[in-house]
Amino acid sequence: MPLRNRVTPFGELIADPARGLVYGNRGSLHDADGRIVRHHAVRRWIACRLEFRGWQRGPLLQPGRFTELFFLDEATAFSAGHRPCALCRHEDYRRFTYLWRDLHPSDRGADAIDLTLHGERWDATRKRQRGHRSSVRDLPTGAMVVLDEAPHLVVDGALRPWTPAGYTDTVPIPRCDVDVLTPPSLVQILSTGWEGAVPLLHPSARD
């Protein structure tokens, strides 16, 4: 039975047997029996490599340890509000902080970045992901939007519906503005042509 540790573009945790290309965490979200009991435990939401220095934890969801999360790709992790890990993706993190400083000059260090990013991704009053509005044509490849209540990836000026196993066939772009899931600062970082040590897009995005 699959564990409930796959993350959707909405930041929600689901159980699905499909494999993701990106690993991460946002603190300990499970109880002693491995049941998910909270959405997040800390502000430090990170996206990591699947493999690093041969480290491996097993079994997953051990009591008192952080909850291992998996994402389809980095576009999904960005949409959920996760940023590159400073340890296993050190060069990505350095480049990310350099780009972030142009957007938020007063943010120095991981704590300041995570505080600003948390305000962009999470509505604490409504206890849900925070979105913003935009035309699809103004968004870079890698941004995620909501269409017909479902997440869709912007890729090369087109829209592809997201599923836990990959992206499906291109759908028409709406003429009206849409709700954007990817936090505004991460949209701007994607606009630079961001590519990191983990796959930005699952191969199905351009099939």
Per-residue pLDDT tens for 37-52? Answer: 999 999 999 999 999 8
60 located within any domain: yes
147 located within any domain: yes
1 located within any domain: no
* pTM, 2 dp: 0.96
Around Cβ 175, how many Cβ atoms within 10 Å? Answer: 8
Per the structure, the count of domains in the chain is 1
Around Cβ 32, how many Cβ atoms within 10 Å? Answer: 9
Q: How confident is the model at residue 114 (pLDDT cuts 50, 70, 90)?
A: very high
Q: What is the distance between the alpha carbons of residues 18 and 24, in angstroms, rounded to a whole number? A: 16
| pLDDT score of 35 more than 90 | yes
Give the structural domain span for 82: 6-206
Pick from 36, 88, 87, 89: nearest CA to 66: 36
E strand residue ranges, the chain: 6-7, 13-14, 22-25, 46-48, 69-71, 83-84, 122-123, 128-129, 132-134, 144-147, 150-155, 158-163, 166-167, 178-180
| pLDDT score of 144 more than 90 | yes
Condensed to tens digits (0 to 9), the pLDDT of residues 57-103 reads 778 999 999 999 999 999 999 999 999 999 999 999 999 999 999 99
Pick from 20, 45, 187, 21: nearest CA to 113: 45
